[in-house]
Amino acid sequence: MLTSLGMDAGDSDFYREVLRRTTASVEEIGAVLGLSVEAARTTADRLLGLGLLTGSATGQLRAVHPELACTPLLERARLRLARHQQELELARLAISELTTEFGTAPTSSYDETQVYRGSDRAWSCLERIAATAVSSVQCMAAAGAAPGLGDTTDYTTVVDLARFAARRGTRVQVLLLDSIDILPSLMQGAQAMADAGVEVRTVPTLPVWVFIVDNAYVATALDPADNQAGIMTVRTPGAVAAAADLFKRHWHGATPFGSAQQDSRRALMEQHLDLVVLLADEVKDEAIARRLGVSPSTARRRIKELCREFEVAGRTQLVVKACQLGLLD
């Protein structure tokens, strides 16, 4: 408890031992605390310098009364804290000035559309979104890495940006693909975002990486096939409204991350795994029916029901979905 006064645990123990005696030698205190003579003398010199002891490290030591010895140390610590708080306030003001000068998104009509080419500028744009968004960030995280992400196998930095924005008090909503469950790292990232207050849902498909910021502007990947190409931001009301409507339609039909519904869909696929395996092997309907002991019409009905449940267009996509769930490995 005395570390803020410049003492560590060993110093505190040494001082307490001297306090228990009228006078004591370094050797006596060192023996009690299990210290070598050299270590005991070093500690004694430090406490003598702080004014907690009087005497000599090579002779007899006497402890100064705690109220007399510690009050000046406490006052020095208070002054250090006041200076530190002042420095922090100055740093905060400097950050505010830098943000005003360099960190805000363009606002003039001339800058309604901005293009940030290359991975570095794209990533800087995402950092600015996380740092300056006021009320909301809505993100559609399509297939592939986020724009500007350097390591396409590690999404930790993207997750950290979302968590940072949420902890600033911004409402962050993220739409992820159902297929994230094929990689433990993606599932862990989604969980980390959810734990930080990010609202996370999953959907079967998404068109492109899109960020809607404060319902004021939209940031979207320049090239859906190349995350290093860059980002384009658009501030026209029509573009913002269109992007917000697209996000809303996907969001309302999405599955909340970690929900019972998400687990039940995997269970449903596992329940009909024999059927899906046969589809993956391109077995004909009649042969599927014989293998499963049902009529061909029943087999076809089950296939249609599964396709409808998983929101896929046909058998091939149903097999792909099973692969994404890791059921055909």
By three-state DSSP, how is residue 142 classified?
coil
Query: What is the pLDDT, as a whole number, of residue 324?
Result: 65
Distance CA 35, CA 10 (A): 10
Q: Which helix (H) or strand (E) holds 55?
A: strand 53-55
pLDDT band at 73 (very low <50, low <70, confident <90, very high): confident
Average pLDDT over residues 87-96: 72
221 and 274 within one domain = no
Asked if residue 225 has pLDDT above 80, the reply is yes
Comparing CA positions, the residue from 223, 224, 200, 213 lying closest to residue 142 is 224
* pLDDT of 133: 92
In a domain, 103, yes or no: no
**Crossing angle between the packed helical segments 315-324 and 296-309, to the nearest 10 degrees:** 60
Predicted confidence (pLDDT) at residue 193 exceeds the cutoff of 90: yes
Q: What is the pLDDT of residues 232-286, one digit of tens each?
A: 999 999 999 999 999 998 898 888 887 655 556 667 777 788 888 888 888 888 8
- Is residue 49 a part of any domain in this protein? yes
Instruction: State yes or no: pLDDT of 303 exceeds 70.
Output: yes
- 17, part of any domain: yes
| Nearest-angstrom CA–CA distance, 282 and 90 | 69
Strand (E) or helix (H) holding 94? helix 66-98
| 217 shares a domain with 157 | yes
264 with 252, same domain?
Answer: no
Residue 304 has pLDDT above 80, yes or no: yes
Per-residue pLDDT at 8 exceeds 60: yes
> For the domain that residue 194 is a member of, what is the CATH number?
3.30.870.10
The CA-based dihedral angle spanning residues 245, 251, 253, 256, taken in that order and rounded to the nearest 10 degrees? -170
- 205, 229, 256: which is the final residue of a domain? 256
% of the chain beyond a pLDDT of 70? 90
Question: Is the CB of residue 225 less than 8 Å from the CB of residue 169?
Answer: no
Instruction: Report, as an integer, the average pLDDT of 153-172.
Output: 90
Q: Who has greater pLDDT, 127 or 324?
A: 127
Give the confidence band of 187 by pLDDT, cuts at 50, 70, 90. confident
Q: List all residues 6 or more positions away from 143 whose beta carbon is below 8 Å from its beta carbon.
A: 177, 179, 206
Same structural domain, 46 and 22: yes
Range of the domain at 307: 260-324
Tokens of 157: 């930095």
Predicted local distance difference test score (pLDDT) of residue 78 = 83
**In the predicted structure, residue 325 carries a pLDDT above the cut 80:** no
Residue 296's CATH number: 1.10.10.10
Assess whether 124 and 54 both reside in one domain: no
pLDDT value, residue 200: 94
What letter represents residue 203's amino acid? Answer: V
> Does residue 3 have a pLDDT over 60?
yes
Residues 122 and 139 in one domain: yes
Claim to verify: residue 164 and residue 290 sit in the same structural domain: no
Among 122-131, 266-275, 284-293, where is mean pLDDT lowest?
A: 266-275
In a domain, 275, yes or no: yes
Cβ atoms of 141 and 176 closer than 8 Å: yes
Q: Residue length, the chain?
A: 329
Same domain, 118 and 186: yes
pLDDT at 299: 86
Residue that is written with structure tokens 């009909």 in the block: 272
14 domain-assigned: yes
pLDDT score, position 265: 65
- Average pLDDT over the chain, rounded to an integer: 84
Is residue 20 domain-shared with residue 51, that is, in the same domain? yes
Based on the fold, state whether residues 243 and 143 are members of the same structural domain: yes
* 101 is a domain residue: no
Q: For residues 153 and 196, which has the higher predicted lDDT (pLDDT)?
A: 196
Residues 52 and 29 in one domain: yes
Please say which residue of 233, 256, 279 terminates a domain: 256
Is there a single domain that holds both residue 247 and residue 233? yes
Which of 216, 236, 256 is a domain's end point? Answer: 256
More reliable by pLDDT, 253 or 98? 253
Would 105 be classed as within a structural domain?
Answer: no
What is the number of structural domains in the chain? 3
For residue 254, the model assigns a pLDDT of 86
In a domain, 80, yes or no: no
Question: What local confidence, expressed as pLDDT, does residue 108 receive?
Answer: 43
